[in-house]
Structure 1
């Protein structure tokens, strides 16, 4: 019986830690965004463009969970600030189709602002073996997928 109770307590502790992490990352993102004059949605979209781009605005809106009209405003701000460029999509049948691509001119600024967190994360990762880091990365990927599925469920329901 003790194993079941221990496992349940451990699972509750993990969920609570994820809630705390969510709050701390939201606060970090807010501070980070204010340093770079990026709204939360702008930073999220820039990160998605960097990871998945070049990407069309419609696909980006779906990934970000934003309405296409909202996405237009986000892309306008990111382009004005020099974070992205919009380019005509030569493969599209619709001549108005564009893809969005991240520009890297401002990356040094981005890295400077994030350097404290990157150093702290290096320190945290140094406390674990390679095998443990693989397990942690798997857990985080699965957690992210569960979050995506839950967001999709809420969007459709």
Structure 2
């Protein structure tokens, strides 16, 4: 591939986009008084409310102890509650509070609205290409994450 085929420019723009996501997440975490791991856990809980502690451990790719610590901090911050599952008393369900939903609306609502407005400039066929690209990028990222996890840790 030649440098003028646009692939290099897409790679640069993807890196810039990732950096902007990281900066936004950092600002959101700071605004809410959370660390990045807790923000990620809260996002997972908001997306699948309620969620068992075990499901959160798997989704967040944390150890059970780290998950418990994150839930403890989110509970102290007023963003989640813990309740026993009525169908299985040994299972703990973590639920987002109204304060978490309000924070979600404050932080992410404007982003969603701005993103929707920005995407309205594209036609249906263009949006199909964008969706395909995002799905491909997601798959590549997951494959590369798995590759890194298979490498020995440097000391």
TM over 0.5: yes
SS in 1 for 2:6: helix
Deviation for aligned residue 1:28: 0.8
Q: Is 1:57 equivalent to 2:57 in the alignment?
A: no
Q: Is 1:32 equivalent to 2:28 in the alignment?
A: yes
Q: Output one character per residue of 1:44-84: Cα deviation in whole Å (capped at 9) or x when no partner.
A: 11111122343222222222122221111111111122222
Q: Distance in 2 between matches of 1:45 and 1:109?
A: 14
- The within-5 A match list for 1:75-154 is 75-92=71-88, 95-154=89-148
Q: Distance in 2 between matches of 1:70 and 1:139?
A: 34
Residue in 1 that maps onto 2:2: 5
Equivalent pairs, count: 151
Q: Distance in 2 between matches of 1:148 and 1:57?
A: 23
SS in 1 for 2:98: coil
Q: Is 1:73 equivalent to 2:69 in the alignment?
A: yes
Deviation for aligned residue 1:138: 3.0
Q: Is 1:22 equivalent to 2:18 in the alignment?
A: yes
TM-score under structure 2 normalisation?
A: 0.80
TM-score under structure 1 normalisation?
A: 0.79
Unaligned runs of 5+ in 1: none
